[in-house]
Chains A and B, each alone.
Chain A
Amino acid sequence: MHLDVFTAGNSPIHRLDPRLRLLLFLLLALHLAITTQLPILITGLTLSVGFCLLARLNLAQLGSRLAVIAIFVLLLWLVLPFSRNGVQLALTLSLRIFTLVLLAVALVATIPILQITAVLQNWRCPALLVALLFFAYKYLTILHDAYDQLRRAAKLRGYQPSMSLRSFRTLAMLIGMLLVRSLEHARSLQKALLCRGWTGRFPGYELQPLSMAHWLIGTSAVSGWVMTVILISRVSG
């Protein structure tokens, strides 16, 4: 699909087991999301940049994602410094926001959605959510194409998005039409699933246990991070 731009590749990060990537992300992200110590945040940012470089990501795409976030960070810097402790807070937040985005791109956005679905099923995530993720992803492409088609049709008839009641009405009809058409699709899919004895779980999604090498990488990465954090806390007193 055209939206997952970071999943293709054969870098060391891409070769890492998806479960390991998700676990590492969750551990690091949760720690970095709550820490307020600048040295740890700076180390985290360096590490995230390192992961991104290691994953050899599409830089143009990465840049466009970061640009959106930069706008929000800019807003923070425009408003926050006028309050007490504002500069400190703005600095902490900017570091944290960029660190977490880069970490998410390197470790999570590099995993294809279907593999994430498999991991979630193996982690005993509620079956409804797993199935919903699978089918919603499938419909994303279909609906996006259908939306493009309807929008092109509207454009050919002279539609231009603007701040007018007429424009909103057209948009509402477009969204309504999209809904009506794709729900037809969903109803037939529902019948097909029920006919084939759908129980809400995907067979054949069972993953092999993690290999020894992956366990080794995982434990050394986590203990490495813990030691770095302890070291930083010691040095910065």
Chain B
Amino acid sequence: MHLADGVVSAPVLMIGTLAAVAVIGGSIRKSNPDQIPQMAVFTALFFVVSLIHIPLGPTSIHLVLNGMMGILLGWSVIPCLFVALLLQAILLQHGGITVLGINVLIIGLPALGARLLYRFGTSKTGSSFLPGFTAGLVGVLAAAGLMMLGLLGSAAEFQNIARLLFVAYLPQAIIEGVITGFTVQFILQVQPDLLTEI
């Protein structure tokens, strides 16, 4: 769920990066520097989780779990994603350094939305699986949508590829929804204060 270096056009790169700087700057102010160790754990977790493969037909799926990151972290998810994506770009060459800001927005903005959805869902239903599922599902779908937007804004020729990618992310969205739901349920059973740690 990353754009690689060199895919987006100059205007998209510029606007995306400027927007990312604003969002990252704002989110740093909302983060508590005393909680850097906890944020670092979540950042590393995001990185490790992305290494998990789940076989799907002839290919496999890499988990993103941005919805879950959003539920756990709130605004702090943005600096965490910035660092996690930087590490992925440097260590694994996934994504890229020039498109780092854009990738932070693609994965981070849906994560923020997922948190709102989860909060709203738990206050309405009182259960935890369904809101977790929705947050995980929407997190991936919205990220795929933003990625499509970045591609289409770069070149009209990307239409088919963008559609193809979006369809490819549908099963992933459902799987991530299920895993997010179960994980939230597990955390609530084992250590509920973890959900309000940050």
Q: What residues make up the interface of A, taking CB atoms closer than 8 Å to B?
A: 3-4, 25-26, 29-30, 32-34, 65, 68-69, 72, 75-76, 79-80, 82-86, 89, 93, 96-97, 99-101, 104-105, 108-109, 111, 113, 116, 126-129, 131-140, 142-144, 147, 161-163, 165, 167-169, 171-173, 175-180, 182-183, 185-187, 189-190, 193-194, 200
**Complex contact A179–B45 (CB within 8 A):** yes
Additional A-B contact list (7), CB under 8 Å, known A101-B4, A139-B44, A186-B41: A33-B5, A127-B33, A136-B47, A147-B51, A163-B54, A175-B179, A179-B72
Query: Is B155 in contact with chain A by the CB < 8 A criterion?
Result: yes
**Complex contact A129–B33 (CB within 8 A):** no
**Complex contact A163–B56 (CB within 8 A):** yes
Range for the number of chain B residues in contact with chain A: 35 or more
**Complex contact A128–B55 (CB within 8 A):** no
Q: How far is the CB of A222 from chain B (nearest CB, A)?
A: 17
Q: What residues make up the interface of B, taking CB atoms closer than 8 Å to A?
A: 4-7, 9-10, 13, 24-25, 28, 31, 33-45, 47-49, 51-56, 65, 72, 79-80, 82-84, 86-87, 89-94, 96-98, 155-157, 159-161, 164, 175, 178-183, 185-187, 190-191, 194, 197
**Complex contact A79–B164 (CB within 8 A):** yes
Q: A169-B182, A190-B35 are in contact. Are A129 and B82 (CB under 8 A)?
A: yes
Closest to A108 in B: B90
With the chains together, A2 CA to B25 CA distance in Å?
A: 32
Interface contacts (Cβ under 8 Å), in number, total 221
Residue from A75, A173, A186 with most neighbouring chain B CB atoms (10 Å): A186
Q: Binding site of B, secondary structure by majority: helix, strand, loop or mixed? A: helix
Across the interface, B91 reaches (CB within 8 A) one of A3, A69, A172, A173, namely: A3
**Complex contact B6–A190 (CB within 8 A):** no
Closest to A25 in B: B97
